[in-house]
Structures are given as C-alpha cells and as structure tokens.
Amino acid sequence: MDNHYNGLKTAALFGAIWALLLGIGSLVGGGQYIWMFALIGVATTFYGYWNSDKLAIKAMRAYPVTEAEAPVMHRIVRELSEKAGKPMPRLYISPTDAPNAFATGRNPDNAAVCCTKGILELLDERELRGVLGHELMHVYNRDILTGSVAAALAGVITSVAQMALFFGSGRDRGGNPLAMIALALLAPMAAAVIQLAISRTREYDADEDGARLTEDPIALASALRKLQYGTARAPLPPNPDLVNTSHMMIANPFRAQDVSRFFATHPPMPERIARLENMAGRRLP
C-alpha cells in the first residue's frame, strides 16, 4: 500500500490548530480567559462525540434495517467486521436519492453504518463492498473522535476570536483594536481551513485502509468514480443539519460549485481514485 503519511499529516494539523488556539488565547485578556473557552470546547466535543450516531442518522432521516430488508448490505458488513475482528455495527438506510454513505458512532461497539437509497441503486455489489470497507475503517480508526475534537477546537478558536473584540480590543487593556478586529475575522477562517484539512487526511486514510480490508482497491475506485457523477446529478440540499454531517459521508454530497476546494471536507475525487489505482498497480480502463 502507498504510504502517504496521513497520520503524520493529521498530527501536524492538530499541532497547527492548537498553536493557533494558544496564540489567540495569549492575546485575549492576557490569556486569563482561555480556560473558559477550553472547558466549552471539551463539553462540546463530549456531546458531539457521544451523540454523533444519533445526530447524523436523524439529519439523514435514516431508519434501521434488518437482514431480511437489506441482505446484501448485512452480508458484506458482517463479513468485513468478522475479518477485522470487530463487532457488527447497526445498519441504516436513508430514503434519499442522493448516492452516499457514512459511518458514525463513538467506537466499534457503538457504531452505525448508513447507506442512502441512491447509493444502493447506483453501485454493484463489489463496489458497495469497497464503500462499506471505507466506512468501517472510519470507525476502526476512531475518526469520529478526531473529527469531534477538531470541530470543538475550531469552535473554541471562533469563540475566543469573537470575545477578543470585547476583552482585548481596548488600548487600556494593551490591545490593538485593528489587530483584534483582524484576529476576530481571520482566526475562525484559519481554524476552519485546518479542521477541513484534517477531515481530508482522514478520508485518504479510510480509502487506503478500507481498500486493504477488502483487498480490492479497484472496487472502491470504481465506486468513487460513479459517486463523483452521481452526487452531481442528485446533490443534497445544503441545509445546516446536512452541512454539519457532510464531513462523515464518503463523497461531498453538495454541488461542486457550492463548495470551493479550499473549504471542501473531502479530497478531490480524481486524486482519491488515482491513489487507489496506484495501490492496485494498474489503471482502470
């Protein structure tokens, strides 16, 4: 398997977001308020992490399915879970034509995998197996925790930057008003960019590890190619609930023109496909 050092990239990005947080905290009120925002961030992280499965499933209006209702999906996930030595997650289907899939849950014992009606109609069984392997690896790699922490840190940075205008902008407090205004505007943007970069590195890891689990990188590459066009034909509406869960999905669920590459939660599809094809040592016809 190609080693793209995604874990190292994730660690470096977390270092950058912590450096940004500590740098801002040192500027606001002499750093005396940073503990308050850190506590808010911890609480937000815990709530989002603990309830991640409920929030995402509710946003997609998904419902649980039995083996009789979705035999192929159950068979694939059971086979891959047993191969990985992990418990069987709960399975859901979302009644939307937009082709996509996601996994959520705080750990392998409390995990859920959801496929949309659209993706089940779009992919053949081999491609679906590739997608489900990708989603299971998000759970096994604890990417839900990673995403929750990154989102909480980004939220703390945004809060600290906004409070800078109230607690650190006056010259009597030793602050530069123009610098604080710039901080309040630019720091949240920088935090969001780093958070999204963390999400993109986790997608690369899930692609590679999922392909290793299924032993079929070409199947996932083929599925991603279909999803690239399928999501363009049937995008999800960019409402707030779906935007907040979009980073969990295997493909960007919105229209490409609605999301710039700089602020995308997913790496470009051509790059993901190329990496998978390189893993297999050949190109798709």
Q: Which residues are catalytic?
A: 135
Q: For the beta carbon of residue 20, count every other beta carbon within 10 angstroms.
A: 19
Name residue 104's beta-bridge partners.
Answer: 112
Q: Can you tell me whether residue 17 is helix, strand or coil?
A: helix
Q: Which region holds residue 162: left if phi is over 0, alpha if psi is between -120 and 50, else beta? A: alpha
The rounded distance, in Å, linking the Cα atoms of 76 and 123 is 14
Angle, to 10 degrees, between the axis of helix 125-140 and the axis of helix 217-233?
A: 100
For 93, 104, 113, 261, the CA distances from 101, given in Å and listed in that order, are: 9, 10, 8, 21
Please identify which residue in the block is written with the tokens 């659209």.
118
The rounded distance, in Å, linking the Cα atoms of 106 and 114 is 15
Instruction: Provide DSSP, 234-253.
Output: SPPP--HHHHHHGGGBSS--
Structure tokens at 44: 């937000």
The rounded distance, in Å, linking the Cα atoms of 226 and 116 is 14
The rounded distance, in Å, linking the Cα atoms of 116 and 96 is 6
Name residue 113's beta-bridge partners.
Answer: 91, 103
For 59, 96, 123, 192, the CA distances from 154, given in Å and listed in that order, are: 22, 30, 35, 6
